[in-house]
């Protein structure tokens, strides 16, 4: 499956008084990239939700390598870093669209739950084809 | 009824690269001040909602008089500018807490609707005591 | 000059607990559309700034006609509503990309100032070709 | 030194359509708590900046333990987790103000640089009394 990076233009309102994109925005960009990723693999957010399942963020991390400025265009390469029955980890790599220079890397860890009663569920049981898809996208361990 | 201004500290993440608080944040401060105002008049948001009613923004306006900086403390004086059966208008006046200098003024217009089916309702019929309260807080026309 | 509407995908983080896009985000979308508009007319933000001039928001207004949901795609048609030596007004019209239904309209009023000393300037004197361009884009009065 | 937790009221505009505070906001709350912490230890942001030094976020992490709702009040206990010549780590613990229940934990790692030329600096050399203060606040290793 050929997944292309999510392209994001930076916005003026995302800058701070240091003249760079404020660090909190990258967490939102990861979400945008995740939504885009789910669409690219054929499981857009609403399709997951139509199965009565949704997912939430358990934890996240972000490393800032170099600044992003207003007007920059970035690529956010998104992938499955780890997959489990009930939890999965996604990884993000933000690079400058023009120079390819690395800007930020990050990870978000998620769990799945039933919308009906907010109970955590095994994705493997609830939507096995999505579970299989996620696991198939995980990079091989060598 | 003695209603005191809402006090708001500005945040670093609210600044932009011009070195001032980004203009979009004032719209959010108006909401904070509105929530505080409802509490001060004894009708906090959850009390309105417990009656099956909620309200949404129909329109808003904002005039920027002078800049607010990171670290500033502002006062937001909030009041009822107009009240009707189905709609009401709130007015906001943001001043610097230290100097009293005027920073921003604004208005938001709201309508009320039933949470159940999203149908607009007359506040006068749905929660008459809140309607009366709003109207009693409206400044006298001379 | 053929100016196309700015296309904007809504984001999950822009929703609120009423299940719709929070009203404060439209103010940010107007800014995005404005930046895009300046690019389309050949005067991107950085070109204005390279002339030592920048502009700020004097006032704004926004009317909410119908809700926008997560996953919606909107078109934001942007234009010059009024132009003066020192001030200009831009108008925005947000419609659903799929249905064409009107979602929101708004206006922002701006003034121009020198970056060097923050003094207001006449755009007509500072960047006459941009002033002329803005005025030429203003709809005819009948 | 007796440092009290930062108290934060949640805002309506911070909710998302799942009906909880959107996870990206905690990153902003950490910043608010950090600014408050610096004030409490007698080194407010502007005092650091008046020495020609500022600091940026190198990396961060956040673990979400339980949801925070609109109207909740949270305490954010903030401290120095690690201190070095050029880098420091701060830790945050968000609890519900009413129940004391743990909501979120997080860390942010920072480096220091000269505002003048954006060059990284040793805090120990640039502002030795702040460096000593940070290190004195680090919990003892047992």
C19 CB within 8 Å of a chain A CB: no
Measure CB to CB from residue B12 to each of D11, D12, D35 and give the nearest one.
Answer: D35
Instruction: Tell me, yes or no, if B72 comes closer than 8 A to chain D by beta carbon.
Output: no
State the Cα–Cα distance between residues D114 and C74, nearest whole angstrom: 43
List chain D residues with CB under 8 Å of B71. Answer: 44-46
Q: What pLDDT was estimated at residue C141?
A: 63
CA distance D130 to D54: 12
Rounded to two decimals, the ipTM of the complex is: 0.95
Q: What is the DSSP letter of C51?
A: T
Tell me the β-bridge partners of D85. none
Q: Using one digit for the tens of pLDDT, what is the confidence trace for A16-67? A: 999 999 999 999 999 999 999 999 999 999 999 999 999 999 999 999 999 9
Contacts of A among chains (3+ CB pairs under 8 A):
B, C, D
Q: What is the mean pLDDT of residues A87-112?
A: 98
Confidence (pLDDT) at B94: 98
| CATH architecture assigned to B6-137 | Roll (3.10)
Q: Which residue on chain D is closest to B10 by alpha carbon? A: D32
Q: What is the Cα–Cα distance from D142 to D137, expressed in whole angstroms?
A: 15
**Cβ-contact A53, A123 below 8 angstroms:** yes
Report, as an integer, the average pLDDT of C1-9: 94
The number of angstroms, rounded, from the C-alpha of A84 to the middle of its chain's C-alpha atoms is 16
CB pairs under 8 A between C and D: 27
For residue A57, the chain D residues in CB contact (below 8 A) are 23, 64
- Bridge pairing between strands D87-96 and D73-83: antiparallel
Across D36-86, where does the E strand assignment appear?
53-64, 73-83
B22 in D contact zone (CB under 8 Å): no
Q: What digits encode the pLDDT tens for the residues C90-110? A: 999 999 999 999 999 999 999
Residue B53 pLDDT: 95
pLDDT in tens, A7-17: 999 999 999 99
Interface A-C, measured as beta-carbon pairs within 8 A, has a size of 26
Tell me, what's the pLDDT at C39? 97
Of D18, D24, D63, the CB nearest to A24: D24
Q: Across the interface, do A13 and B16 touch by the CB < 8 Å criterion?
A: yes
State the pLDDT at residue D139.
Answer: 85
Task: Spell out which residues of chain A touch residue B15, defining contact as CB-CB under 8 Å.
Answer: 16-17
- Asked: is C6-136 a CATH 3.40.30.10 domain? The reply is no
pLDDT at A120 over 60: yes
Q: Could you tell me if A70 lies within 8 Å of chain B, comparing CB atoms?
A: yes
Contact between residue A13 and residue A75 where contact means Cβ atoms under 8 Å apart: no
Q: Which residues lie below 8 Å from residue C116, measured CB to CB, with a gap of 6+? A: C52
- C-beta separation of B79 from B131 below 8 A: no
Q: Tell me if D13 and C13 make a contact (CB, 8 A cut-off).
A: no
pLDDT in tens, B37-68: 999 999 999 999 999 999 999 999 999 999 99
Collect all residues of chain D within an 8 Å Cβ-Cβ radius of residue A28. Answer: 24
Residue of chain A nearest B70, judged by CA positions: A17
The confidence score (pLDDT) of residue C139 equals 85
Give tens-digit pLDDT for B64-97.
999 999 999 999 999 999 999 999 999 999 999 9
* Tens digits of pLDDT across chain D (142 residues): 889 999 999 999 999 999 999 999 999 999 999 999 999 999 999 999 999 999 999 999 999 999 999 999 999 999 999 999 999 999 999 999 999 999 999 999 999 999 999 899 999 999 999 999 999 999 876 5
Give the pLDDT score at D20: 97
Confidence band (pLDDT; 50, 70, 90) for B139? confident
Distance from the A23 Cα atom to the nearest Cα atom in chain B, whole angstroms: 9
Of B54, B56, B61, the CB nearest to C61: B61
Kindly report the average pLDDT of chain A as a whole number: 95
User: Cβ–Cβ of A12/B12 closer than 8 Å?
Assistant: no
D94 φ/ψ sector (left φ>0, alpha ψ -120 to 50, else beta): beta
Structure tokens at D125: 């050399």
CA distance A71 to chain C (A): 9
Binned at pLDDT 50, 70 and 90, residue A139 comes out as: confident
Closest chain A CA to residue B15: A16
Share of chain A above pLDDT 90, in %: 94
Q: How far apart are CA C2 and CA B128, in angstroms?
A: 52
Average pLDDT value for residue range A99-128: 95
Shortest CA distance from D115: residue in chain A: A18
Per-domain residue ranges of chain D: 6-137
- Please say if the pLDDT value at position A140 is more than 90: no
Q: Tell which residue, C76, C73, C71, has the closest CA to residue C94.
A: C76
CA distance B63 to chain C (A): 4
Chain A touched by D91 (CB under 8 Å):
no
Give the span between the Cα atoms of D1 and D40, in whole angstroms. 9
Q: Can you give the pLDDT at residue B142?
A: 53
Task: Decide if D72 touches B, using CB distance below 8 A.
Answer: no
D46 touches chain B (CB under 8 A): yes
* Residue A100 sits at the chain B interface (C-beta within 8 Å): no
List chain C residues with CB under 8 Å of A45: 12, 70-71
Q: Within an 8 Å CB–CB cutoff, is residue D45 touching chain B?
A: yes
* Run of H or E including A83: strand A73-83
Q: Does B12 contact D71 at a Cβ distance shorter than 8 Å?
A: no
DSSP class of residue D15 equals B
pLDDT of residue C1: 80
Cβ contact A80:A110 at 8 Å: no
With CB atoms and an 8 Å threshold, state whether D61 touches A61: yes
Q: Which residues of D are catalytic?
A: 16
pLDDT reported for residue B49: 92
């Amino acid at each position: 499956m050929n997944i292309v990076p999510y392209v994001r233009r930076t916005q003026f309102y995302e800058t701070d008084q240091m003249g760079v994109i404020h660090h909190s925005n990258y967490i939102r960009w990861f979400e945008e990239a995740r939504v885009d990723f789910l669409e690219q693999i054929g499981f857009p957010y609403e399709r997951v939700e139509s199965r009565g399942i949704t997912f939430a963020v358990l934890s996240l991390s972000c490393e800032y390598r170099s600044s992003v400025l207003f007007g920059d265009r970035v690529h956010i390469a998104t992938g499955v870093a780890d997959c489990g029955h009930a939890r999965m980890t996604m990884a993000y790599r933000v690079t400058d669209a023009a120079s390819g220079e690395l800007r930020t890397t990050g990870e978000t860890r998620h769990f799945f739950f039933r919308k009906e009663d907010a109970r955590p569920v095994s994705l493997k049981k609830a939507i096995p084809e999505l579970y299989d898809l996620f696991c198939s996208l995980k990079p091989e361990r060598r």
